[in-house]
Amino acid sequence: MKAAKEAFGFCIAALQTTVVSLPPLASPSHPETITEYTMPYKLIAFDLDGTLTQHRTPLEEKNRSVLERLAKKYQLLMVGAGACLRIFGQMAGFPIDVIGNYGMQVSRYNPETKTLDIIEDAHCEPDREHALRECDALRKKYGYTDYAGEAVEFHASGMITFPLLGTKAKIEDKLAFDPDRRKRKVMYDDVVAAFPGCTVFIGGSSSFDIAPYPYNKYYALDQYCKAHGLTHDEVAYVGDDYGIGGNDEQVYHSDIRFFTVNDYRKLEDALAELLD
């Protein structure tokens, strides 16, 4: 871990801001503890964009209904790339625990306040000069020197987003830019090489997400399982981004059951086995 941090200049400032005792798993939609689970799964974890919603768009009623049906049988969990409260807002306050920032942030739904309590919040400090220099070189090499807003986005967590169209690009331009990810796959290996000690994801619709080791969705889900006494056999994950560089890739190649969603509008069909 030390070598990885030094390679990119990360300094972990705080791994946990709050320590809380965790109650037994219970469905967020029902205050009582679930005592009879539909075997073999106790927990169903979800990606957000492309799985439950279109990129950065609110949760639609159809898929909210699917989640409500599932919540009667399983504990539900979001495992996302963005911050917990952003994910929670995009889900229009659906009652669910949320892991954000690839595991750097963990939150629990509070039924009394109807919002999230942040229970873990890791921060790091990236080498900004390195990031700006490497991203500028990549822009020049691949021809992305015209962009709107900032060339690199530094998040409060310390994660980095390399937005090829810039931080202020229009959402319609982002969605139309690289729907099959071919443009970013061409340069993916170079972005990985530019950020040693990190995991690089082909994020969103036009960018790369860069997270410090060991954070990724599989690591986040594994840590959650350990904290709640769950085995991987008792967990299923639902996602769409399982190709090379995808932010669900590590879960897809793990021992956790993976339900693939290739169109968020067909979520119900993809999860028919769980809804029966």
What are the tens digits of pLDDT across the range 238-258? 999 999 999 999 999 999 999
The amino acid occupying position 21 is S
What fold does the segment set 127-212 form as a domain?
Answer: 3.30.1240
2: confidence class by pLDDT, cuts 50, 70, 90: very low
What are the tens digits of pLDDT across the range 63-80? 999 999 999 999 999 999
What is the rounded distance in angstroms from the CA atom of residue 142 to the CA atom of residue 183?
9
What are the tens digits of pLDDT across the range 202-250? 988 899 999 999 999 999 999 999 999 999 999 999 999 999 999 999 9
What are the tens digits of pLDDT across the range 9-33? 454 443 333 334 444 444 444 434 4
H-helix or E-strand containing 202? Answer: strand 198-203
Residue 148's alpha-carbon distances to 96, 140, 144, 174, in angstroms, are 35, 16, 11, 11
Q: What is the pTM of this model?
A: 0.85
Map out the domains of the chain as residue ranges. 2-19+37-123+215-275, 127-212
φ/ψ of residue 111, rounded to 5: -65, -20
| Contact predicate 148/167, CB 8 Å | yes
Residue 63's alpha-carbon distances to 81, 86, 178, 228, in angstroms, are 20, 18, 25, 26
**Does position 271 have pLDDT exceeding 90, yes or no?**
yes
- Assigned architecture for domain 2-19+37-123+215-275: 3-Layer(aba) Sandwich (3.40)
39: confidence class by pLDDT, cuts 50, 70, 90: low
